[in-house]
Amino acid sequence: MRRTLSISVGIAMLALMAGCGDSDDAKTLSSVEPTTSTSSTDPTTAPTSAPTSAPTPTVPPKPAGPLTQAQYQGVLLELDKRLDSEISALGRVKTEDSLDTALENLTQALNAESLKLGAVKPPARAVPANRVLQLRLRNAATAMRNGDTSDIGCGGLAYVSQALQRQLTATLNPAVVQLRTIGLIVGRTLPDLGPEPTGNRPSNGDVIVRTGNGGSGALRVKNGTSSDVAVSIVTTGKAPSKPHIMMYVQAKKTATVRRIGGGYQLYIKSGKDWNPQRRQFRSDCSFKKFDQPFGKNQGWEVQLQASVLGNASSSEVDPY
């Protein structure tokens, strides 16, 4: 007779889903040598001095007038060129350290370009758009400095890099559009990765992986949480990245998998936006493992929900 045990995930599983310089105003005095004249006929005539010239103030140069449309367009093209290398570096990151470096360099470059625009006198019709571009560059710098890289272990480095690139483009896009309406082009080096991938959610109970020999074991999973989960049945002694069976269970649903061969450990990962290529969620990930082993050729029911009556403990594990 197949033994069935109901296991409620208690308090330990609750955490599973928690988961230009100023001009000089001083006046310059012109020094004039006094001249004297004497009379050769009247010795009593006193010498006379020529009057001293009045001080002549230095007039500061008038500021340069606004740029022409073509000149301002040149400024925008140079801005794009200077940002290009830093943006490209963000798209080429291979390690977490290189991601941190790319974000820091891009942040500094965005702030520097915002300051440079403040010294530019654009054509009158472009003044409002220039201000918007300044602001958006600053906002983008802040977004990059505070960029969320916590999902690297979840969706992977490439996914996080792409998410940050999409955020950069979205932040600067209002200024790009406003300048475009008056015939000016900027943002030609911004990433165009399209929308984030969607529609990859497997059906409830889909078996994503099945390897090895089958047996008479069975597992019923009741997912009482608000997050989808991928349940990995891992043969004892194997790594969780190489499961015997992986089954997808949607939030608030139940699914059963049969023909489980041998004893195993049970791993649960949850999150949002499933990536079928990596067999991982892309964001809000949590990785857990049931502490107790599961025996060969037995039937089990696991309830994933918060319960003070739970009789199975779990532990956090590294992303897999």
**Chain segment 211-223, per-residue pLDDT in tens:** 999 999 999 999 9
Which comes out higher in pLDDT, residue 197 or 63? 197
C-alpha–C-alpha distance, residues 154 and 318, integer Å: 10
Q: Which two tokens stand for residue 129?
A: 């758009």
Q: Is the pLDDT at 137 greater than 60, yes or no?
A: yes
Asked if residue 203 has pLDDT above 60, the reply is yes
Tell me what pLDDT residue 234 has: 98
Please give the span between the terminal C-alpha atoms of the chain, in angstroms, as a whole number. Answer: 35
Residues of the chain with pLDDT > 70: what percent?
77
Q: Which has the closest alpha carbon to 89: 68, 109, 64?
A: 109
Instruction: Evaluate whether 16 touches 314 at the Cβ level (below 8 Å).
Output: yes
Considering only 19-33, 58-72, 154-168, 170-184, which range has the smallest mean pLDDT?
19-33
pLDDT digits (tens, 9 = 90+) for 27-65: 332 333 333 333 334 444 444 444 555 555 554 454 457
How would you class 3 by CB atoms within 10 Å of its CB: exposed for 0-12, middle for 13-18, buried for 19 or more? exposed
> Which pLDDT band holds residue 5 (cuts at 50, 70, 90)?
very low
pLDDT (mean) for 136-142: 97
Please say if the pLDDT value at position 207 is more than 50: yes
Under the banding of pLDDT at 50, 70 and 90, the label for residue 199 is: low
Look at 43-47, 103-107, 187-191 and tell me which has the smallest mean pLDDT: 43-47
- Write the CA distances from 190 to 6, 87, 187, integer angstroms: 53, 7, 5
Q: How far is Cα 252 from Cα 204, in angstroms, rounded to an integer? A: 10
pLDDT for residue 13: 39
C-alpha span between 209 and 232 (Å, rounded) = 9
- The candidate with the shortest Cα–Cα distance to 156, out of 278, 294, 18, is 278
Most distant pair of Cα atoms in the chain: their distance: 150
Cα-Cα-Cα-Cα dihedral of 176, 178, 180, 182, to 10°?
Answer: -150
For residue 237, which phi and psi values (nearest 5 degrees)?
95, -10
Q: Average pLDDT for residues 92-121, to the nearest whole number?
A: 96
Is the pTM higher than 0.75? The answer reads: no
Q: Is pLDDT of 17 > 60?
A: no
Q: DSSP code of 9?
A: B
